[in-house]
Amino acid sequence: MTGTASTVKTRCALLGALVLSLVAADEARAWPAPERHPPTMRGYRLGPVEWEFLPVDVGARHFRVMAFDGHVHSAISRDALHPIAELMWLAERKDLDLLVLTDHGASSARGYLEREYRGPVETLIGEEVGGSFGHAVVWDITEHRGISAAVADSMDALGTLVHGQNGTVVLAHPGWWIGRNTWDPRRWMQYDALRRGGIGQQIDALELWNQVYWERSRELIDEWVGLLERGLYVPIVGNSDFHRAYSHRLGDPRNAMLCASDAAGAITQSPSECLRETVRSGRLYVTEGPSIDVRLADHVPGEIVDAIAGTRLAAEVRARSEEGGTVLVYLGREVVARVPLAPGATVEHRFTLAVPQADSYLRVEIERASVPEDRPPFSLLTNPIRIDVLPRRTDGWRGPDEGSIPGPPGFSRDEVGRRDRARAQRRIDLRPAPRKS
Ligand SMILES: [Zn+2]
Ligand SMILES: [Zn+2]
């Protein structure tokens, strides 16, 4: 099965090379030759660039994995270095299928990509914005006008504008409290913020893993798991926040989305549709190398299994990592399977799970065999497969709409936005909210 995936990749690469060679004469000046480093990356060492994902076929359902980095800056951002053409050169070398360009402010990348780029990497235009919530990346937008005004107003206004364009809103690096900002972005990850009616209700996903701001990843995961335990689910993503090749690694980590495909592996959705669907549902995993296929009763991450308490469900995991490591399968906070990985080998593990008495979720982390000092202790995180213990949940996974919720002191929908800037900094209140009985 991995043979099929690599054949598809090879075909894509050959097609890409053919297209490149056909347009090479016209674009010799605009486009760096594939073998030669572009001017801003002279001497840059690419490192291993072979990425191969385990295919995921669940009965009659087929998925093809497409990898994207959703937080990337080109020289359009004042603090980043590389022109778009050179960034795209690197994206191809890094084996990315899709790149979302998230420069600060309106992006002139769109024109360039439409007119000049002929390579194999799909692109979507987004933007990184800063407001009272810290930073957010918005993905797949067609119109930048009005975004700054919305950001200055509130996360709600931003979400309304972006969703009106069929775009996606992601809370960026919530582990980084930006200097001079009033609020710790982690407050936007609290239950009362993310639930329906809360000030962060429009946030589609959390960038829990950011290459640059990774130090608080473990705490953020704990807080996210706390939300899951209370029945509030917002999917996670991971991105590089790439600014320059010498200090950042494009595509580390990347999101492996499970895009609907036919039996031959051809994608039946556009990249834009797949991104919207997989990010909002969480049908993706975040990885810095390893590949995984995890299922529970024929459901994949981002999906919901309806189950009866006390019955048993079949679970299976296939995983591969060039560096080895250990697969940890969590049911709630408990590790229910621990599978060692031999470097470069695909490992399979099947087991059954007793359905707990209350709603729960299954998710996977891969623990690194050895941890470099500039990386988190894990090399892969999946979104959860949720277990909805019957009777079925009727209030969704973001709670009932209770309107504007006061939440922690000083944290209400009325108090964020424009007026935040004048407020004194407050410390984050991380007391767990009371559980429902
Ligand atoms: Zn940022
Ligand atoms: Zn950024």
Task: List the domain boundaries for the chain.
Answer: 51-286, 288-394
Tell me how far apart the alpha carbons of residues 18 and 27 are, in angstroms, rounded to a whole number: 14
5 — pLDDT class (breaks 50, 70, 90): very low
Average confidence (pLDDT) over 115-144:
94
What is the whole-number distance in angstroms between the Cα of residue 239 and the centre of ligand 2? 9
Contact 235, 279 (CB under 8 A): yes
403 — pLDDT class (breaks 50, 70, 90): low
Tell me how far apart the alpha carbons of residues 155 and 150 are, in angstroms, rounded to a whole number: 8
DSSP-assigned letter for residue 275: H
Contact 364, 382 (CB under 8 A): yes
What is the whole-number distance in angstroms between the Cα of residue 315 and the centre of ligand 2? 37
Identity of the residue numbered 240: S
Q: What is the pLDDT of residue 51?
A: 86
What is the whole-number distance in angstroms between the Cα of residue 336 and the centre of ligand 1? 36
The closest ligand to the CA of 185 turns out to be 1
pLDDT 10s digits, 53-81: 998 999 999 999 999 999 999 999 999 99
The closest ligand to the CA of 240 turns out to be 2
Question: pTM, whole model, 2 decimals?
Answer: 0.86
Q: Is pLDDT of 312 > 60?
A: yes
Q: What is the pLDDT of residue 107?
A: 76
Q: What is the pLDDT of residue 419?
A: 38
Identity of the residue numbered 397: W
pLDDT 10s digits, 247-260: 999 999 999 999 99
What is the whole-number distance in angstroms between the Cα of residue 135 and the centre of ligand 1? 5
Three-class secondary structure of residue 337 per DSSP: strand
**Backbone phi, then psi, for 282, in 5-degree steps?**
90, 20
Residue 26 vs residue 378, higher pLDDT: 378
Residues surrounding ion ligand 1 at CB below 5 Å: 135, 172
What is the whole-number distance in angstroms between the Cα of residue 103 and the centre of ligand 2? 7
Q: What is the pLDDT of residue 45?
A: 83
Tell me how far apart the alpha carbons of residues 344 and 419 are, in angstroms, rounded to a whole number: 53
Residues 6 or more apart whose CB falls under 8 angstroms from that of 197 comprise 399, 401, 402, 403, 404, 405
Q: What is the pLDDT of residue 190?
A: 87
The closest ligand to the CA of 174 turns out to be 1
Tell me how far apart the alpha carbons of residues 64 and 58 are, in angstroms, rounded to a whole number: 11
Q: Strands 360-367 and 346-354, how do they pair?
A: unpaired
What is the whole-number distance in angstroms between the Cα of residue 419 and the centre of ligand 2? 24
What is the whole-number distance in angstroms between the Cα of residue 72 and the centre of ligand 2? 7
**Matching CATH topology for 51-286 and 288-394?**
no
Burial class (CB in 10 A: 0-12, 13-18, 19+), 67: buried
Tell me how far apart the alpha carbons of residues 125 and 138 are, in angstroms, rounded to a whole number: 9
What is the whole-number distance in angstroms between the Cα of residue 80 and the centre of ligand 2? 9
What is the whole-number distance in angstroms between the Cα of residue 172 and the centre of ligand 1? 6
Q: What is the pLDDT of residue 139?
A: 98
Contact 136, 155 (CB under 8 A): yes
Lowest mean pLDDT among 17-26, 143-152, 162-171, 236-245: 17-26
Q: Is pLDDT of 432 > 50?
A: no
The closest ligand to the CA of 100 turns out to be 2
What is the whole-number distance in angstroms between the Cα of residue 77 and the centre of ligand 2? 9
What is the whole-number distance in angstroms between the Cα of residue 104 and the centre of ligand 1? 9
DSSP-assigned letter for residue 21: H
Question: Could you tell me where the beta strands, DSSP code E, fall in 181-324?
Answer: 205-210, 236-239, 254-261, 284-287, 291-296, 304-307, 312-320
The closest ligand to the CA of 176 turns out to be 1
Contact 244, 207 (CB under 8 A): no
Average confidence (pLDDT) over 334-353:
97
What is the whole-number distance in angstroms between the Cα of residue 128 and the centre of ligand 2? 6
Q: Which CATH superfamily is domain 51-286 in?
A: Metal-dependent hydrolases (3.20.20.140)
**Backbone phi, then psi, for 4, in 5-degree steps?**
-60, -45
What is the whole-number distance in angstroms between the Cα of residue 125 and the centre of ligand 2? 14
Three-class secondary structure of residue 122 per DSSP: strand
The closest ligand to the CA of 242 turns out to be 2
Average confidence (pLDDT) over 275-303:
98
CATH architecture of the domain with residue range 288-394? Sandwich (2.60)
Identity of the residue numbered 128: E
